[in-house]
Amino acid sequence: MRTGALLAWAAAAAVSCTSGSGTIVVGLTTAPGSTVLATATTLRVTVTAPPSVTLAARGSDGRFDAAVSFDAVQDEGVIIVEGLDAGSNVVAVGESPPFPLAAVNAELVIYLAEPVSFASAPLSLDAARTGITVVPVAFGGVLAGGRDSAGSASDELRVYNAFDHTIASGLALAATGSDGTGGQPRSDMAGAAGTSGLVYFFGGNDGSGAATGTLWRFNPTTAPAGAYEDLGSHAELARAGQTMLLDGTETFVITGHPALDLDGETKALTTRSELAAAPAEAAVTAGSDGTPIAIFAGAAGVSRLRAGVVDALTVAGGARTDHAVVALAGGKVAILGGSAAGTPTRAGILLDAATGTSTTVTASLSSVRLHPAVAATARYVVVAGGTDETGAVVSTADILDAATLQQHFIKSLVVPRTGATALALPNQQVLIVGGLDATGQPTAVLELFTPDAPPTAPP
Among residues 330, 428, 448, 325, which one has the least CA distance to residue 379? 428
The per-residue pLDDT for 345 is 98
Count of Cβ atoms closer than 10 Å to residue 431 Cβ: 25
pLDDT tens for the 459 residues of the chain, in order: 334 444 444 333 334 454 445 567 788 999 999 999 999 999 998 988 878 888 989 988 888 876 666 666 667 889 999 999 999 999 999 999 998 876 667 788 999 999 999 999 999 999 999 999 999 999 999 999 999 999 999 999 999 999 999 999 999 999 987 777 889 999 999 999 999 999 999 999 999 999 999 999 999 999 899 999 999 999 999 999 999 999 998 999 999 999 999 999 999 999 998 898 999 999 999 988 889 999 999 999 999 999 999 999 999 999 999 999 999 999 999 999 999 999 999 999 999 999 999 999 999 999 999 999 999 999 999 999 999 999 999 999 999 999 999 999 999 999 999 999 999 999 999 999 999 999 999 999 999 999 999 886 444
The per-residue pLDDT for 36 is 96
pTM reported for the whole predicted model:
0.94
The per-residue pLDDT for 107 is 83
The per-residue pLDDT for 202 is 98
Give the whole-angstrom CA distance, residue 424 versus residue 422.
Answer: 7
The per-residue pLDDT for 456 is 67
The per-residue pLDDT for 179 is 78
Domains of the chain (ranges, CATH numbers):
2-115 (2.60.40)
The per-residue pLDDT for 59 is 87
